Amino acid sequence: MATSAPSQIHTRLRVFLAVARHLSFTRAGEELNITTGAVSQQIKLLEDWLAQRLFRRLPRRLELTDAGKRLLAAVDPAYAAVELAIGRLRGGALSGVVRVRTLPSFLATWLVPRLPRLMARFPQIELQVEAEDSTYSLRDGEFDLAIDLNDGSYPGFQSTVLLEEEIFPVCSPRLLEGRPPLLGAEDLRHYPLLHDMTAWRGSPPYAEWERYLKAIDGVTFGDSREQGVVRGRQFFHEPLGIAITAPQGFRIVNDSEQLMLVNGARDAALVMRVVPQELLRKTGTSHDAILRQGLGASGGRSEQLTLGGSLPATHYVGPRRDSRGQTGTLDATLVTGPRGEVFLLGRAARDAAALDRARPALREAELSFRPMSAADRIAARPWQLKLVPYPAGGFAQLARSSPLTELPEQQLRLLNGAYAGQPEPKPGQLVKVVQ
């Protein structure tokens, strides 16, 4: 388990207490004057350090896990006791001169609006604040404390993390004029990348990137295990234990609510959803009950099937009436997965003619639905970002062993900012690859 500095642990525990109090990342961020993303990151770092999940991320709220409840029971009274002790120690008024150096931008946007509250709380303290970004004045004894933007490396000094920086790319709309549209990450290769090499004062030119590289080593690249993995025409969902193959010429579209296998003409698709537990509680797991009571099927034709060698399924074609009383046609297959979930494989098309043309391919896709095999589980392993020394053969050499199938060398260049005339990495320098 990686160790963390006491100041980092303190910061993360403060964030944890705020989230536990509000059960909301957003409200905790408002209390602490940090972004929701920074709150989420601090909680993730704390959970990783503890190797315990502290919160359950529910659709519209948070909920403490048992581990989170135990931590709250230990930390909350401890912090309350510390605050009480500090209050007692401060019985005598603090006084004196405190010399503070900080960045001009931080002074103007964050510190100045809070100075009235600080002075009201400590009226006998004379606060001398100077806007300066020198890295030497603190060491020379000109100031008592400094607020800087960097990686926190101050040999011989104690440092405390106040806020986490969130870095992301932005551009002016005018930059898009006369250039290829930004539809995906690969399109960034057509644009210049600007980076402030002096953003972290006193640090090496690429200190931000070095920290970023270390942070992302081993993170998932592309599809995750939880959302399901697309590999060419194959879709794998390990937590559900199922796989399905798209017919030739189809593409797979995976989002949070459903999976779609869309034909090349984009006028027909097989749509796969998990039947909600709320519906199953009302109807049970019987396919006929789900069709009749849950989906409003009436009459029509049912066909019993076995998919993937072992999964019971029912294909239904016929009329249906939805919850609003509107009638239509349902052409779908219900199948019970290997772990008890019931899946709805519905056929959708622009019109009846498009559905008739696509029907053989949609049938082929339905019949490919199966429990994951040992080979499927190997193929379903999510890709990860890894750091490797830049080889003599450059990105072309790295591309030959990459699992990326579409323009692998270009994608690797994009991942490392080595495109559009940017300098090549030096041999031995750590670069990002996909494994």
Domain ranges of the chain: 6-89, 96-147, 230-372
Q: Which CATH superfamily is domain 96-147 in?
A: Periplasmic binding protein-like II (3.40.190.10)
Say what the alpha-carbon torsion angle 81, 21, 15, 110 is, to the nearest 10 degrees.
Answer: -100
* Digit-coded pLDDT (tens) for 210-257: 666 666 666 777 788 888 999 989 999 999 999 999 999 999 998 878
Rounded CA gap, 431 and 213, in Å? Answer: 8
Q: Is the pLDDT of residue 388 over 70?
A: yes
- Nearest Cα residue to 45 out of 3, 12, 70: 12
* Digit-coded pLDDT (tens) for 56-114: 888 778 889 999 898 888 888 777 777 666 655 655 555 677 788 887 878 888 888 88
Say what the alpha-carbon torsion angle 418, 419, 420, 426 is, to the nearest 10 degrees.
Answer: 30
Q: In whole numbers, what is the pLDDT of the chain averaged over residues?
A: 82
Phi, psi torsion values for 385, nearest 5 degrees: -80, 130
Identify the top-confidence range among 17-26, 181-190, 303-312.
303-312
Rounded CA gap, 236 and 372, in Å? Answer: 7
274 Cα distance to chain centroid:
22
Catalogue the long-range contacts made by 406-411 (C-beta closer than 8 Å, 24 or more residues apart): 407/186, 410/186, 410/189, 411/186
Mapping DSSP to helix (H, G, I), strand (E, B) and coil, where does residue 271 land? Answer: strand
Is the backbone of residue 32 left (phi > 0), alpha (psi -120 to 50) or beta? Answer: alpha
Per the model's pLDDT, the better-predicted residue between 83 and 427 turns out to be 427
Task: Give the domain 6-89 fold.
Answer: Arc Repressor Mutant, subunit A (1.10.10)
Phi, psi torsion values for 415, nearest 5 degrees: -60, -30
Would the CATH topology of 6-89 be identical to that of 96-147? no
Helix (H) or strand (E) holding 335: strand 327-336
State the helix-helix crossing angle for 66-89 and 6-22, rounded to 10 degrees.
110
State the helix-helix crossing angle for 25-32 and 36-50, rounded to 10 degrees.
110
Per the model's pLDDT, the better-predicted residue between 282 and 59 turns out to be 282
pLDDT of residue 1: 34
Rounded CA gap, 363 and 161, in Å? Answer: 58
Q: What is the pTM of this model?
A: 0.53
Q: Which CATH architecture has domain 230-372?
A: 3-Layer(aba) Sandwich (3.40)
Rounded CA gap, 287 and 279, in Å? Answer: 12
